[in-house]
Structure 1
Amino acid sequence: MINATTLSSFSLLGLNDLTTKQRVIVFSFTLLCYCAIFLVNGALIFIILLDEKLHEPMYIFLCNLCINSLYGTTGFYPKFLYDLLTDSHVISYIGCLLQIFVIYSYVATDFSILALMAYDRYVAICRPLEYHAVMTKHRIVLLQCLSRLVPLFCHVVILVMTSRLKLCGLHIEKIYCENWSILKLSCDSITTNNIMGFIFISFYFGHDLFIMFSYAYLVKSAINSREGRRKFMQTCVPHLLCLINVSAALLFDLMYARYGSASVPQTVKNFMAVYFLILPPLFNPIIYGFKLTKVRNSLLSLCAYTKQGLG
């Protein structure tokens, strides 16, 4: 039995089956992906901050979503890239808890921001005359703070509960630290941890239900007017695509972590484990950048201005 307060490090076993050649290939692909995530999210953040026409609630929430993607992926990619270049895949106990906190608070914050964006679209389409009275600057700041602080508080609670466990092992069967992997190493009962985890998971997947009900009402309202249909297609469809992307990725990871078969190849396990750290941060800003007219026009104007300046 190992006292968690004296534990110094964990060993990550997810990369043990990779050959040197495979590691070089994976490193190149991962570095390219990480650079692309920084590029597309950074570009969208820059455009929204620079263009005053985009200083509206929906674009502010979108900017927050991109900032959150950069925050979450920073908790995974630097350490993973380093591990691909070394033979010893060790992470300190504190570093492991910090990685868990960053990655899963990022996912929870994504759900919170997507719920705020659904609420914003509901007010814009169903109550257009009241929009500016409802979505005031004060309320936007309050909602933004709640979307950040509530996930942080939830995951502080989870980490405190995890840090109190006595552990009977040091090996984590993944390429990064994940709370369920540590719970499986526990010598103590984890019933309380499982109950609390189920409550938090249900709470954030409850955001999905809220968004789905909101969109059911939006479809009903939008179908009655041409302007409503236009707004729905332009601003709601990309939001739904992002929601499906994030939900499917996280559900994939959670279900596999608990019920995945040991006979599945390690490469497949690794891909399933990092799916939600690759596709949502990469494709969400691309979906919005191409679909939202104002964002697309601002991007084209910026590119034309840059080209003219260089010419």
Structure 2
Amino acid sequence: FFLALLCYIVIMLANGVVLCIIVIDKNLHRPMYILVCNLVVCDLLGATTVLPRLMMHFLMGQKKIGYISAIAQAFCVHLYGTAVQTILGVMAYDRYIAVCEPLRYHAIMTSARLHSYLALAWFIAVLLIAVLFILHMNSPLCVMTLIVNPYCDNASLFKLSCESVLINNIYGLTFILVLLRSSIGCMVLTYTKITVLSSNNKSSNSKAFKTLSTHLVTYLIVVFSGIFKC
């Protein structure tokens, strides 16, 4: 309980400080920092979805959850993971424009266009996850309703169904493969183009490395966090 509480406090404080600094300081009202704000919101969503209920289970010793609550938690968990990937895709495009089109950057990445990209990223994430859960909303539950994970996810809920979930599994696997391939493909394509364009100029190469380092570190943290969770 205390370890989970400590983790939750650290996550909330760290992300809260970052969010407040970016909101208060008008000099940080730029595309890169607005994208970071959205990643912070994702992090807060993921932590708040899992840790408070986990702490309640530890504190009360009663490890039960209603079906609707389980659906809601699983939805938020998957929304967190999907939104992070789509937002990182927007961030990769932003870094590409910043390095390859520096003179046209502010004309291309206007505030309206950035917010439309972010709205699209969140909409795609919500739509993909909504379809995933609509597929098994009417599936009857078996008598055995044990979830072995510390939180509810789509795979755990599938195992509770008495009917065949073949279509659900196919959609889920396709969704994961397409999402990861799109995200990684966007990263590889962006970095390849940037490397080619800046390879002949040392100053441009150095600037490109500094510009991309934040995005690369953020992406690696997300990837390794997902691997560690699995």
| 1-structure distance, mates of 2:70, 2:191 | 38
Using the TM superposition, give the Cα deviation of residue 195 of structure 1 relative to its aligned residue in structure 2, in angstroms: 1.4
Alpha-carbon shift at residue 56 of structure 1 (Å): 1.0
Aligned to 2:71: 97
Shift of 1:57: 0.8
Aligned to 2:35: 61
Among 17, 29, 53, the residue aligned to 1:43: 17
CA distance in 2, matches of 1:102, 1:234: 33
Find 1:204's aligned residue among 179, 186, 190: 179
Report the structure, 1 or 2, having the larger strand content: 1
TM-score, scaled to structure 2: 0.93
Partner of 2:223: 247
What's the counterpart of residue 109 of structure 1? 83
Change (3 A) 1:222 1:41: farther
Q: Deviations over 1:263-287 (max 9, x none)?
A: xxxxxxxxx35xxxxxxxxxxxxxx
Change beyond 3 A, Cα 1:41–1:224: farther
Greater gyration radius: 1
Q: Choose from 166, 174, 178 the match for 2:140.
A: 166
Task: Tell me which amino acid in the other structure corresponds to 2:160.
Answer: L
Q: Secondary structure at the match of 1:163?
A: coil
Q: How far is 1:211 from its partner? A: 1.2
- Residue 40 of structure 1 aligns to which amino acid in structure 2? A
- Structure 1 counterpart of 2:127, one-letter code: F
Identity across matched positions, percent:
34
| Distance in 1 of aligned mates of 2:167 and 2:30 | 42
Other-structure match for 1:235? 211
Matched, 1:176 2:162: no
Where in structure 2 are the equivalents of 1:259-274 lying within 5 Å?
272=229
Counterpart of 1:286?
A: none
Which residue of structure 1 aligns with residue 59 of structure 2? 85
> Among residues 190, 214, 221, which one is paired with 1:214 in the alignment?
190
Q: 1:162 and 1:99 mapped to 2: Cα distance?
A: 15
Spell out, residue by residue over 1:75-110, the C-alpha distance to the aligned partner (whole angstroms, 9 max, x if none): 111101111112210011110000011111011000
Deviations 1:178-231 (A, max 9, x none): 110111222211111011112211222021221122112222223333443333
Distance 1:161 1:85, change over 3 A: same
The residue correspondences of 1:112-191 to structure 2 (distance < 5 A) are 112-168=86-142, 169-191=144-166
Question: What do the CA deviations read for 1:12-67 (whole angstroms, capped 9, x no partner)?
Answer: xxxxxxxxxxxxxxx22221111111111111111111111111111111111111
Q: How far, CA to CA, are the matches of 2:222 and 2:135 in structure 1?
A: 26
Which letter does structure 2 place at the counterpart of 1:228?
A: S
Gaps (5+ residues) in structure 2? none
1:223 corresponds to: 199
Post-superposition shift, 1:122? 0.2
TM-score, normalization: structure 1? Answer: 0.70
